[in-house]
Amino acid sequence: MLTDLFSLEGRTALVTGGSRGIGKMIAAGFIAQGAKVYISSRKPGACDEAAAELSKDGGVCISLPQDVSTVEGVQSLAGRLTDLEPKLDILVNNAGAAWGAEFEEFPESGWDKVMNLNLKSPFFLTQALHGALKAAGSAERPAKVINIASIDGIRLNPMETYSYHASKSGLIYLTKRLAARLIRDHINVTAIAPGAFASEMNRAARDMGDEVARRIPSRRIGRDEDMAAAAIYLASRAGDYVVGETIAVDGGVALASLAPGPS
């Protein structure tokens, strides 16, 4: 039924970094479409508070706080999730970090922190939850893995965020590699590349939204529903035939060099 294309009724999802920003936008969208959603974040208090807020209107959101910046943390989260759920329909690898510093001073710590959380952890969490995702997937209703990349993985921004650029471009290609392997297990892997959304990571969009909007072809920053809609599309029946692709949700920024200037 076309009316059910975007429904997530009966589906179970895990969203890392789900207590704020883009992760919270996605979790809220999934819950509105009927999914049972587990959210994870590094800070237990923030994770519990966000889960309570997202559940207040009758939805089901469960807090599973965990630092996923290490393989040990990833495996702990996967173990706790599978103790509660025999299968997992949707995994959103959203937890991430950024680091900016001039080339001559860019530290190893800034490289390792960002690469570990943004690129290494999505791979190993997907690996750790492979069994649960495989148990949920079928040819008619595949399980979904959605990696949250960035338009900074598609085009350069002016800032010296070396490890962030590298990690997000790497995540886009990792999405393709994972998709090629996991489709045989009825698990579809895709990615979203967000542009400017107000968040703790993107403080410019959060604090200077009007100024940032002037540099965006659509002339506005992203809204919560923009991010939720893209994730719902990929997670739902509507996106079942999309495999290995990355959707830019950026108001046209990645194409800005081809777009006409302000009129």
Residues annotated as catalytic are 164
Question: Which residues, 6 or more positions from 259, have their beta carbon under 8 angstroms from its beta carbon?
Answer: 217, 252
How many other C-beta atoms lie within 10 A of the C-beta of residue 43? Answer: 13
How far out from the chain centre does Cα 13 lie? 12
Buried b (16+ CB within 10 A) or exposed e, 105-134: ebeeebbebbbbbbbbbbbbbbebbbebbb
Q: For residues 188 and 178, what is the distance between their CA atoms, to the nearest angstrom?
A: 9
Following CA atoms 123, 125, 128, 134 in sequence, which dihedral angle do they give, to the nearest 10 degrees?
Answer: -80
Residues 37 and 61: beta-carbon distance below 8 Å: yes
Q: For residues 189 and 147, what is the distance between their CA atoms, to the nearest angstrom?
A: 8
Instruction: Write out the H or E segment, with its range, that includes residue 73.
Output: helix 71-84
Q: What length does the chain have?
A: 263
Q: Residue 58 gets which letter from DSSP? A: S
